[in-house]
Amino acid sequence: MTNGHGQHPEQSYAGETGDSIEYADQRRGYGIHPWKLTRSGLLPDDVAASETLFTLSNGHFGMRGSLEEGEPRVVPGTYINGFYEQRPLPHAESGYGFPESGETVVNVTDGKLIRLFVGDSPFDLRYGTTHSHERALDLRTGTLDRSTEWTSPNGQSVRVTSRRLVSFVHRSLAAIEYEVEALDDNVYLAIYSDLLANEQNATASSDPRDAAVLDRPLKSEDSGARGQQAVLLHRTRRSKLRMAAGMDHVLEVPQGAETTIEAGGDLARYTVTAQLPKGSKLRMIKYLSYGWSHRRSTPALRDQVEAALAVGKLIGWDELLEKQRAYLDEFWQHADVEIDGDPGLQQAIRVSMFHVLQCSARAEGQGLGAKGLSGIGYDGHTFWDADLFALPMLTYTKPSAARDHLLWRRNTLPEARARAAELGLAGAAFPWRTITGKECSGYWPAGTAAFHVNSAVANATARYVAATGDREFDAGAGTELLTETARLWMSLGHFDGAFHIDGVTGPDEYTAIVDDNLYTNVMAQANLTEAADACERNPGTASELRVTAEEIAEWRKAAAAMAIPYDEKLGVHAQSEDFTKRDEWDFEDTADEFYPLLLHYPYFQIYRKQVIKQADLALAMQLRGDLFTPEQKARNFAYYEARTVRDSSLSAATQAVLAAETGHLDLAYDYWAEVALVDLGDLHGNVDDGLHIASMGGSWQVAACGFGGMRDHGGVISFAPRLPHALDRLRFRIRSEDRVVEVQVTRTGQEQTATYRLIEGESFATTHHGQPVELSGSDAVELAVPAVPQVEPVTQPARREPTRRRPQR
- Contacts of residue 288, defined as CB under 8 A and 6 or more positions apart, other chains included, come to 111, 173, 174, 175, 176, 245, 246, 247, 309
Q: Is 385 known to sit in a ligand binding site?
A: yes
Which 3 state secondary structure label does DSSP give 777? coil
Q: Are strands 739-748 and 751-760 parallel, antiparallel or unpaired?
A: antiparallel
- Contacts of residue 299, defined as CB under 8 A and 6 or more positions apart, other chains included, come to none
pLDDT tens, 560-569? 999 999 999 9
pLDDT tens, 511-546? 999 999 999 999 999 999 999 999 999 999 999 999
Lowest-pLDDT choice from 11-20, 62-71, 578-587, 688-697: 11-20
pLDDT tens, 352-377? 999 999 999 999 989 999 999 999 99
> Could you tell me if 775 and 756 are in contact, meaning their C-beta atoms sit under 8 angstroms apart?
yes
pLDDT tens, 28-84? 578 999 999 999 998 888 999 999 999 999 999 999 999 999 999 999 999 999 999
For 428, counting Cβ atoms within 10 Å of its Cβ (0-12 exposed, 13-18 middle, 19+ buried), the class is: buried
**CA separation for the pair 134, 181 (Å, rounded):** 16
Give 37-331's CATH code, choosing from 2.40.100.10, 2.70.98.40, 1.10.10.10, 2.30.30.90.
Answer: 2.70.98.40
pLDDT tens, 90-107? 777 778 888 888 999 999
Residues 208-227 have a mean pLDDT of 81
With CA atoms as reference, report the closest residue to 730 among 677, 686, 789, 668: 668
Active-site residue, from 16, 51, 103, 509: 509
| Neighbouring C-alpha atoms within 13 Å toward the C-beta of 456 | 26
0.75 exceeded by pTM: yes
pLDDT at 208: 52
Q: Distance of CA 360 to CAs 63, 416, 675, 714, Å?
A: 14, 22, 20, 26
Q: Is 614 known to sit in a ligand binding site?
A: yes
Identify the band that residue 809 occupies on the pLDDT scale cut at 50, 70 and 90: low
**CA separation for the pair 109, 423 (Å, rounded):** 39
The secondary structure of residue 214, as a DSSP letter, is P
Fold of domain 398-564? Glycosyltransferase (1.50.10)
All structural domains of the chain with their residue ranges? 37-331, 398-564
Active site includes 509? Answer: yes
The secondary structure of residue 45, as a DSSP letter, is G
pLDDT tens, 654-707? 999 999 999 999 999 999 999 999 999 999 889 999 999 999 999 999 999 999
**CA separation for the pair 357, 2 (Å, rounded):** 39
Identify the band that residue 10 occupies on the pLDDT scale cut at 50, 70 and 90: very low
Q: Is 145 known to sit in a ligand binding site?
A: no
| Neighbouring C-alpha atoms within 13 Å toward the C-beta of 9 | 2
